[in-house]
C-alpha cells in the first residue's frame, strides 16, 4: 500500500457525488410546505436498501431504481399524509433523484481527476437517472456505469468485478470512491482499491455522520479535491 495508481476511478453517486438529502428536502418543501421535508427525505432513502434487498434475494424480479423509488414513494406519501398529488406530480417528484445537486467540490474535483484517470459512475441508480443528473449538474464522466448494466445491485461482487472486466483490467487497477464503508469493504473483497470520502452531512446538517478513517482503505480524503491532490492530479 499504496498500490500502483488506479487507471479507473469508479464513483458511488448518492451521498458521495450528490447531496440527496438537501435535494429531496428542497423538492418536497416546494411541493408541500406543511410537510417535514427533511424527515420525508430520510424516510424515502430508508426504503432504498430494503427494496434492493428484495431484488438481491430474488424475492422481487430485476427492478430499476426509478421503479423502486416509486414504490417507496407511494408508501412515504401515505405515511406523511400526502394523498392528493396527481399522477403527474408524483412522477415528477419521483424524478427528484435525477435532479440532485453535487457537493461543492465535485465538478472541480472530477475535472482534475479526469486528467489522469478514466472516471465513471458505479451506482445502483439506473442509466437514465445518472445521465440526466450528469447533464443537469455538469458532471464530466467518461462513462456511465450502473447496476443496470450488470443487472445486479451493489454490494454484489458482479458489479465491482464488472467494471474491471469492462475495461479489461485487473481489479486492483480500479478504485472505488465512496462515502460508505460497507460499499468500500465489498469492493475491497473483490480486489479493488478503495477511497473513502468524508460526507458528514449526508443525512442532513443536523444529523452528522461518523466519518472516521478505516485503515483498510487505500485512501481517505476529505473531498474530491483532496483525493485529486493525493493522486497527483
Range 41-80, binding a second copy (CB under 8 A): 66
Residue placing its CB nearer to a second copy in the complex, 118 or 223: 118
152 binding a second copy? (CB under 8 A): no
158 binding a second copy? (CB under 8 A): no
CA 157 to the chain's CA centroid: 17
The correct pick among 12, 25, 27, 148 for binding a second copy (CB under 8 A) is: 148
Classify 181 as helix, strand or coil: helix
The correct pick among 120, 152, 159, 195 for binding a second copy (CB under 8 A) is: 120
| Adjacent-strand bridge partners of 194 | 176
149 binding a second copy? (CB under 8 A): yes
Tell me how far, at minimum, the Cβ of 115 lies from a second copy, in Å: 10
Tell me how far, at minimum, the Cβ of 140 lies from a second copy, in Å: 9
Tell me how far, at minimum, the Cβ of 111 lies from a second copy, in Å: 13
| Adjacent-strand bridge partners of 177 | 11, 195
- Radius of gyration of the chain from Cα atoms? 17
Q: Which residues of 90-128 are buried (b: 16+ CB within 10 A; e: fewer)?
A: beebbbbbbbbbbbebbbebbbbbbeebbbbbbbbbbbb
Backbone angles phi, psi at 15, to 5 degrees: 95, -40
Question: Among residues 228, 222, 195, 209, which one has the least CA distance to residue 11?
Answer: 195
134 binding a second copy? (CB under 8 A): yes
135 binding a second copy? (CB under 8 A): yes
The 3-class SS string of 39-58 reads: HHHHHHHHCHHHHHHHHHCC
Cell reading at 193:
482499491
124 binding a second copy? (CB under 8 A): no
Measure the CA–CA gap between 227 and 221, rounded to whole angstroms.
5
195 binding a second copy? (CB under 8 A): no
The correct pick among 144, 175, 231, 233 for binding a second copy (CB under 8 A) is: 144
138 binding a second copy? (CB under 8 A): no
Tell me how far, at minimum, the Cβ of 155 lies from a second copy, in Å: 22
Tell me how far, at minimum, the Cβ of 35 lies from a second copy, in Å: 27
Contact positions vs a second copy (CB under 8 A): 66, 118, 120, 126-128, 130-132, 134-135, 142-145, 148-149, 166-168
Amino acid at each position: 500500500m499504496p498500490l500502483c495508481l488506479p487507471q479507473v476511478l469508479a464513483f458511488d453517486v448518492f451521498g458521495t457525488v450528490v447531496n440527496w438529502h438537501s435535494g429531496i428536502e428542497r423538492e418536497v418543501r416546494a411541493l408541500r410546505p406543511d410537510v417535514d421535508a427533511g424527515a420525508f427525505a430520510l424516510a424515502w432513502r430508508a426504503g432504498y436498501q430494503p427494496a434492493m434487498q428484495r431484488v438481491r434475494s430474488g424475492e422481487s424480479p430485476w427492478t430499476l431504481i426509478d421503479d423502486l423509488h416509486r414504490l417507496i414513494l407511494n408508501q412515504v406519501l401515505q405515511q406523511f399524509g400526502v394523498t392528493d398529488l396527481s399522477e403527474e406530480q408524483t412522477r415528477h417528484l419521483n424524478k427528484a433523484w435525477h435532479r440532485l445537486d453535487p457537493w461543492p467540490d465535485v465538478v472541480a474535483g472530477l475535472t482534475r481527476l479526469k486528467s489522469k484517470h478514466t472516471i465513471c459512475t458505479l451506482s445502483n441508480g439506473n442509466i437514465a437517472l445518472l445521465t440526466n443528473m450528469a447533464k443537469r449538474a455538469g458532471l464530466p464522466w467518461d462513462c456511465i456505469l450502473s447496476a443496470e448494466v450488470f443487472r445486479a445491485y451493489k454490494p454484489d461482487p458482479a458489479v465491482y468485478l464488472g467494471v474491471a472486466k469492462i475495461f479489461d483490467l485487473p481489479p486492483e487497477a480500479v478504485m472505488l470512491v465512496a462515502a460508505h464503508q460497507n460499499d468500500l469493504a465489498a469492493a475491497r473483497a473483490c480486489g479493488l482499491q478503495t477511497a473513502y470520502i468524508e460526507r458528514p452531512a449526508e443525512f442532513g446538517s443536523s444529523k452528522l455522520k461518523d466519518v472516521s478513517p478505516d485503515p483498510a482503505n487505500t485512501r481517505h480524503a476529505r473531498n474530491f479535491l483532496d483525493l485529486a491532490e493525493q493522486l497527483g492530479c
